[in-house]
Structure formats: C-alpha cells, structure tokens
C-alpha cells in the first residue's frame, strides 16, 4: 500500500510517499481502508521532532514514522474478539492518541475498535476525517472528560466546565479546528458566544452560531469585552494571559495549547485555569456523531489534498489562518 512517512525530523519536505506493507490487525482491532485523513498540530509537531516540548520531555523517536491520528474509512477486516463493527461499515476515529502510532496517512490502517465510531450518515468521509481530534478536544474540555488521567501539563485531572443557558463564552482562535467546534458546542448548550478571529472568518463563524465577532487585527478583545464566564483559548502562547482580564470573578480559562499563568494572579482574580490532553474515545465520538446527523454540528474544511501531496498540505498548515480543517483524501 501507499503511505506517507518520514525518515528524519524536519520541515514538510521530509514527508515521503512510500510503498509499505498493509498492516496486520491484532486483538481488539479492525483493518480500515482509509478514505480520508485529517491533519492536526500533533502531526507536524511529530514531523519536526517534538521540538514544541521541553527537551527533557521529548520522546525518543524511531524512524521511519507514518504520521496521523484522524481518519474516516471502511472496515475491511475485523478481529474475532471485536463486537459492534463489521466488514463494510463506515467508521471514523482518532487512533491511539496520545501517542505516535496512529499511522493514518496511509491507504490502510489497523485501528483499535475502542477508538472508532460509525461515521455519521450526514457527513462525508472528508468531513468525518476532519472532526475527531478537534471535536473531542472541545468535548472533553466542557462536556465529558471520559477518563481520570491527570494532564501532563499540570498534573491535575480536568473537571469539564458545564455550559448553561445564559453563560457568555469567548473563543479565541475561533475559526480553527478546535475553535470552530468550541463555538458550535457552546451555542448548542445555550451560551452567548463571542468569537475572536481575523476578519475574513466572520461570516463563517456567524453561520456556525457566533453571537458576536471580534476581528483581532483591528480590535483587542480585552478592550471591549468583560464579564465573560469562560474563555477557550485555542492559540495559547505568551500572550494568552491577557484574556484573564475579560473574565468575571469565578470564571474559567481553558488554554488548548501551551500557555503559562501566574498562580498568584489567577488566585487574586478568582479564576480557574485548567487544560487537558485529548484522548481517543470511540463512545464519545458516537455520541457526537448524533449531533452531526441532527445538523447541530458542522465540519469546516479549509482545503483538501491527495495523499501524495502531503508536503503541500503541511505547507498550507504552516501558513496558518486555517478555516476549519485540512484533510488528505486517500480514496476518491
């Protein structure tokens, strides 16, 4: 079969379109013919050698590696101990995350059945492949964590923040993968949603349910917003703490990417800061799938690339300002 793999860490150019063996399935697994594979930040973090992590925390990588965690496809074979899936079923999932053995940038993948759900009939394979990691991140932050594993970043077990009617939720980086699902889930729960992104994404986000829109290129949210119950910051970085001032006392900050906060400052403001590392969860995807079928969630697709053009797809990701998700198409 064909797959994308890399033999050394580096830029997009290290991705190669290679011939590799079709994987064999073990207990608890199914073989999936991949129709589409979603691209996520951990894919390029891995390709770069996990430089995003402190040197002392970086795992030892064994090359070659096939990247990818998210996929949608059709079941080709089922291990004898697997129940609930059969040959011919359309499925989607985020495989073996956290970890580096999802291997979804390929024509076939051996997938743990526990990581899969039946693909919602209301979305196609491209849309389904774009959903898992991003939507599970938003879901596990605020609806159901689904496990009791402490965050590796804080050592604490996150408590999902229940959103109730009338709450105000601000989403920074609202047009991206996690952000556009965070907007929709907050609206589904009855919140008043403020979306922060660049101006070209305004119509996209308003169609997804954003009640207010702030173009960060012309207006700083901290200058015009206050009294927010919850901030979901999908951008992170050294400037993330500026959003603390928009929260009311007793509010919550949920940083999706690496960000540092002064514990004394958050305590003084009465603000809770919490984060997670998203984990694979097929049953949660099955529950989320019903929202796709009911039309309560949509998948924004920024762009698609054939599998053999993974270099171009990763180059597009590096340019930023993504609207929804970038997806590799494997079966047309």
Q: Enumerate residue ranges in the chain where pLDDT < 50.
A: none
Rounded Cα distance between 208 and 295, Å, is: 11
Please report the pLDDT score of residue 190 as a whole number: 97
Dihedral sign of CA atoms 122, 125, 129, 130 in order = negative
Residue 244 dihedral angles phi and psi, to the nearest 5°: -60, -30
Q: Of 216, 173, 196, 177, whose CA–CA distance to 43 is shortest?
A: 177
Please report the pLDDT score of residue 332 as a whole number: 66
- How many other CB atoms are found less than 10 A from the CB of residue 19? 7
Residue 33 dihedral angles phi and psi, to the nearest 5°: -80, 110
User: How do strand 325-329 and strand 212-215 relate by DSSP bridges?
Assistant: unpaired
Supply the DSSP string of 85-122, one letter for each residue: --TT-EEEEE-STTTT----SBSEEEEEGGGEEEPPTT
Rounded Cα distance between 127 and 326, Å, is: 10
């Amino acid at each position: 079969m064909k797959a994308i793999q890399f033999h050394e860490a580096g830029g997009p150019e290290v991705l190669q379109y290679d011939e590799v063996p079709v994987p064999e399935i073990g207990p608890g697994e199914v073989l999936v013919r991949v129709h589409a594979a979603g691209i996520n930040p951990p894919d390029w973090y891995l390709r770069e050698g996990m430089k995003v992590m402190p040197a002392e925390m970086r795992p030892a990588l064994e090359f070659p590696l096939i990247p990818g965690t998210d996929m949608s496809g059709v079941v080709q074979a089922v291990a004898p101990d697997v129940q609930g899936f059969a040959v011919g079923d359309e499925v989607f999932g985020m495989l073996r995350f956290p970890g580096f053995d999802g291997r979804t940038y390929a024509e076939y993948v051996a997938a743990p059945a526990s990581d899969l759900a039946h693909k919602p009939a209301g979305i196609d394979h491209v849309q389904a492949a774009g959903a898992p990691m991003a939507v599970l991140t938003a879901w596990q932050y605020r609806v159901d964590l689904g496990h009791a594993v402490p965050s590796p970043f804080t050592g604490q077990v996150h408590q999902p923040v229940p959103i109730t009617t009338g709450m105000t939720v601000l989403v920074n980086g609202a047009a991206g993968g996690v952000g556009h699902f965070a907007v929709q889930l907050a609206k589904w729960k009855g919140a008043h949603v403020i979306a922060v992104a660049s101006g070209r994404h305004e119509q996209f986000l308003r169609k997804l349910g954003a009640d207010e829109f702030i173009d960060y290129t012309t207006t700083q949210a901290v200058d015009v917003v206050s009294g927010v119950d919850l901030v979901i910051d999908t951008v992170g970085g050294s400037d993330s703490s500026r959003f603390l001032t928009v929260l009311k006392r007793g509010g919550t900050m949920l940083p999706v990417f690496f960000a540092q906060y002064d514990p004394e400052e958050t305590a003084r403001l009465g603000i809770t800061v919490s984060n997670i590392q998203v984990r694979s969860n097929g049953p949660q995807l099955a529950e989320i799938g019903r929202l796709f079928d009911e039309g309560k969630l949509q998948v924004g697709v920024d762009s698609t690339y054939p599998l053999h053009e993974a270099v171009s797809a990763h180059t597009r990701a590096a340019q930023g300002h993504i609207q929804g998700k970038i997806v590799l198409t494997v079966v047309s």
